[in-house]
Amino acid sequence: MCKILTSARIAMVFLFVMASCSGVKTAEKTSAITAEIPALIPLPTEVNWRDEVYQLPKKNTICAAPGTETAAKWLEKLLISANLNPKMLTAESCGNWQLKLNKDLISSIGEEGYALTVNDSGILLESGSEAGLFYGIQTLRQFFPAQIETGKTGKIAFRQVHIRDTPAYEWRGSMVDMARSFFGMDYLKTHIDRMALYKMNRLHLHLSDDQGWRIQLDAYPQLTEIGSKSSVEGGRSGFLTKEQFSEIQKYAKERHIIVIPEIDMPGHIYAALRSLPELNCEDQSNINPAHVLPPEPYTGYKVGWTKFCMDNPKTYEFAQNVLREIAEMTMGDYLHIGGDEIEDPAYEEFILKIDKMVQDLGKTGIGWEEITKAAVSNNMISQQWHGKVNPKNKNIRQIESICSSFYLDHANVPGQPNTLNWCNKEGVSLADVYGFRSENPNALGMEAPVWSEHVLTDEMMDDRFWPRLMAVAEISWSPKQALDFEDFKQRLGRQGLRMKLMGIHHYPTPGIAWPEVPVNSVYTDVFSGFSPNN
């Protein structure tokens, strides 16, 4: 029977194997290869480790059954990075690396699940979908020593195993706030690569707020000509062109990540009001208190002081045109319309109109939980961030982003500089993230935002996301009964070298056995910039 092994049990098995040399033919071979059980994150659903090992030969053959051609290219890239000289064949059964697509598996392990076997014959990876094969390859990537990220590996052996794996939740996400301080193409692609390694599949981009507008639109060029040139104090300005937004989405889609654009409305809208003054009320009563007035840029941190003039017909014309153009350029099914931190008699009417607009565009709307003050349709999704709104529609699907567990702009440890603490004065610790358990039957999954009021560089964004995002990845993938924080910390420490070699500027969380890595290491990622379609 398959079972999940904690690190403590793994250590006992490993010590016994090394003492008895079970499954290793000679003592010389034992010293020449690495057969340690990998520190997988997220923890697979079912794992049955064996004592035996499979030593990878110098030359390898990938046997790609029909339908697995894309996955085979990912696997080929991985084996090339490990200097394993792969040859690819298209057949049902041939080499020591076999990829199979079996639609019947979907009924037992879902659209994103996979089955992985390592035995004396080699490696067999099966799934009912391309996504499942991709996630199985990410698991295999963690079987390799961390040095594979830089292409420096010696002899390699895998512990033999059978894994059946499927995610607990369909929504496993992170959010980058680009509006307050801009994060460009290089960072977004790098972040996507890292998300993919840990089987995360939703990237939410917060593209507009009081401080800046970050997406190009043909209908309103002023939004980027004016609104993109500001940021929070000390932050970066800029915007994504339509071509860049398309490129980011394609890059993410190849890694089975859906990009969700957010245009925040009817509040958090000063950058648009500044760019298009005709959207303001005549007396500018929609800007209150007036921290600044158009045409001055806003570089502060306060929120909830701007909103659309909701009795102005131009407001709805603007919303319609913006949502239409965003929908046309969005490959995924989702449009996020914000909707938070706003009080106005016309708020509910506005949200219902936007809900219908999004539905008419063929997309699924998402909004922060305040949208459920209105009787929105079942098509909408509520993103929970404080959990205080009693929704009018009790059947609405929800994303868990409760600030005390998932707002990663908060401190890793109490008192960390350049962090927020309004939700939890002690910050949001690794334990706070890992300890979250949803009892909500309508929950689609989890998403961790980083708001960028005080996050001004790529390194600072890394520091906020990592390693806490790995905890988000595990609790949204692995079964609840398998979650063990002490075991997770041990596996996390063993992931430290890989994170360093990938150039992740992670926060050195206390209580984790982080490895020492020379500062002059060459930082790279085995799949950085790779496309299976080229």
What backbone torsions phi and psi does residue 60 show, to the nearest 5 degrees? -130, 150
Q: Distance (Å, rounded) from C-alpha 124 to C-alpha 121?
A: 9
- Closest residue by Cα to residue 158 from 182, 127, 124, 126: 124
Q: Could you tell me where in the chain the CATH 3.30.379.10 domains are found?
A: 7-165
Rg (CA), the chain: 24
- pLDDT at position 262: 98
Q: Distance (Å, rounded) from C-alpha 255 to C-alpha 292?
A: 42
SS3 state at 139 = helix
Q: Distance (Å, rounded) from C-alpha 451 to C-alpha 111?
A: 31
- Asked if 271 and 225 count as a contact pair (C-beta separation under 8 A), the reply is no
- Asked if 223 and 217 count as a contact pair (C-beta separation under 8 A), the reply is yes
* Residues whose CB falls within 8 Å of the CB of residue 176, separated by 6 or more in sequence, listed in order: 183, 188, 191, 203, 204, 205, 206, 450, 452, 461
SS3 state at 529 = coil
Which residues are paired to 98 by β-bridges? 63, 124
- pLDDT at position 362: 98
In what helix (H) or strand (E) does residue 164 lie, and over which residues does it extend?
A: strand 157-165
Cα angle at 257 between 253 and 262, to 5 degrees?
105
- pLDDT at position 153: 83
Q: Could you tell me where in the chain the CATH 3.20.20.80 domains are found?
A: 171-483
Q: What angle do the packed helices 185-197 and 130-143 form, to 10 degrees?
A: 80
- Asked if 12 and 495 count as a contact pair (C-beta separation under 8 A), the reply is no
Show pLDDT as tens, one digit a residue, over the chain (534 residues): 334 444 434 333 333 333 333 333 333 333 344 478 999 999 999 999 999 999 999 999 999 999 999 999 999 999 999 999 999 999 888 999 999 999 999 999 999 999 999 999 999 999 999 999 999 999 999 999 999 998 888 889 999 999 999 999 999 999 999 999 999 999 999 999 999 999 999 999 999 999 999 999 999 999 999 999 999 999 999 999 999 999 999 999 999 999 999 999 999 999 999 999 999 999 999 999 999 999 999 999 999 999 999 999 999 999 999 999 999 999 999 999 999 999 999 999 999 999 999 999 999 999 999 999 999 999 999 999 999 999 999 999 999 999 999 999 999 999 999 999 999 999 999 999 999 999 999 999 999 999 999 999 999 999 999 999 999 999 999 999 999 999 999 999 999 999 999 999 999 999 999 998 876 666 789 999 999 998
Residue the block writes with tokens 């199979």: 100
Q: Distance (Å, rounded) from C-alpha 527 to C-alpha 224?
A: 32
Q: Which amino acid is at 513?
A: A
User: Any catalytic annotation for residue 370?
Assistant: no
Between the CA atoms of 143, 147, 148 and 149, what dihedral angle is there, to the nearest 10 degrees? 110
Active-site annotation holder among 341, 348, 369, 486: 341
What secondary structure letter does DSSP report for 386?
Answer: S
CATH number of the structural domain 7-165:
3.30.379.10
Residue the block writes with tokens 């889609």: 253
What backbone torsions phi and psi does residue 91 show, to the nearest 5 degrees? -170, 170
What secondary structure letter does DSSP report for 423?
Answer: S
Start-to-end Cα distance in the chain: 42
Q: Distance (Å, rounded) from C-alpha 430 to C-alpha 448?
A: 12
SS3 state at 221 = coil
Q: What is the DSSP string of 240-259?
A: B-HHHHHHHHHHHHHTT-EE
- Asked if 436 and 401 count as a contact pair (C-beta separation under 8 A), the reply is no
Tokens of 53: 């090992």
Single pTM value for the model = 0.93
Q: Distance (Å, rounded) from C-alpha 223 to C-alpha 211?
A: 12
Scanning 255-312, the segments in alpha helix (DSSP H) are 270-275
- pLDDT at position 521: 64
- pLDDT at position 93: 84
- Asked if 326 and 263 count as a contact pair (C-beta separation under 8 A), the reply is yes
- Closest residue by Cα to residue 328 from 363, 372, 298, 300: 363
Tell me which fold the domain 171-483 belongs to: TIM Barrel (3.20.20)
Which residues are paired to 119 by β-bridges? 122
Longest pairwise C-alpha distance within the chain: 85
Output helix, strand, coil percentages for the chain, rounded to the nearest 5. 35, 20, 45
What backbone torsions phi and psi does residue 255 show, to the nearest 5 degrees? -100, 15
What backbone torsions phi and psi does residue 308 show, to the nearest 5 degrees? -65, 155
Between the CA atoms of 192, 169, 259 and 459, what dihedral angle is there, to the nearest 10 degrees? -40
- Asked if 220 and 276 count as a contact pair (C-beta separation under 8 A), the reply is yes
Q: What is the DSSP string of 63-107?
A: EE-TT-HHHHHHHHHHHHHTT--EEEEESSS-SSEEEEE-GGGHH
**Residue 508 burial by CB count (10 A; 0-12/13-18/19+): exposed, middle or buried?**
exposed
**Residue 421 burial by CB count (10 A; 0-12/13-18/19+): exposed, middle or buried?**
middle
Scanning 276-424, the segments in alpha helix (DSSP H) are 313-329, 347-360, 403-406
